[in-house]
């Protein structure tokens, strides 16, 4: 009984030969030379779940979802991390450092940034 249960639980993932679903890429959809009947069969297969679409192009996904391509491209990029104060200081010029010290005040700069490290 235990052996039978283990065999059922630990079955390997189906191989592509076992999977009855046909996979087509977005490039195939765009460039196939099927006639109207072939395209209708392909569409019926997609609708019935016998054909799965993978690797759509940005243009295809945008048209399918009724948004512009730049929106899709922007959504795919991770949001930029905000710049830290240390990174800004590395980029700053000595003139900008002096202006910051004048604006903040030398005492604040010394007490907040330098004295804790000394």
Which tens digits make up the pLDDT trace of 47-73? 999 999 999 999 999 999 999 999 999
Q: In 3-state terms, what secondary structure has residue 60?
A: helix
d(CA 117, CA 112) in angstroms, rounded, equals: 9
Low-confidence stretches of the chain (pLDDT < 50) are 1
Q: Please, which residues have CB within 8 angstroms of residue 62's CB and are 6 or more apart in sequence?
A: 68, 69, 71, 72
pLDDT recorded at residue 114? 86
pLDDT recorded at residue 4? 52
pLDDT recorded at residue 17? 61
pLDDT recorded at residue 61? 94
In this prediction the pTM is 0.49
pLDDT recorded at residue 77? 86
d(CA 89, CA 97) in angstroms, rounded, equals: 8
pLDDT recorded at residue 32? 92
pLDDT recorded at residue 21? 86
How many residues can be counted in the chain? 118
pLDDT recorded at residue 16? 56
């Amino acid at each position: 009984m235990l052996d039978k249960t283990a065999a059922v639980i630990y079955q390997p993932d189906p191989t592509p030969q076992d999977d009855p679903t046909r996979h087509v890429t977005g490039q195939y959809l765009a460039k196939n030379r099927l006639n109207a009947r072939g395209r209708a069969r392909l569409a019926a297969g997609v609708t019935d779940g016998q054909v799965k679409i993978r690797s759509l192009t940005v243009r295809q996904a945008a048209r399918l979802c009724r948004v512009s391509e730049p929106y899709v491209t922007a959504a795919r990029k991770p949001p930029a991390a905000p710049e830290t104060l240390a990174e800004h200081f590395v980029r700053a010029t000595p003139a900008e450092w002096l202006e910051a010290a004048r604006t903040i005040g030398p005492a604040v700069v010394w007490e907040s940034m330098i004295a804790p490290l000394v």
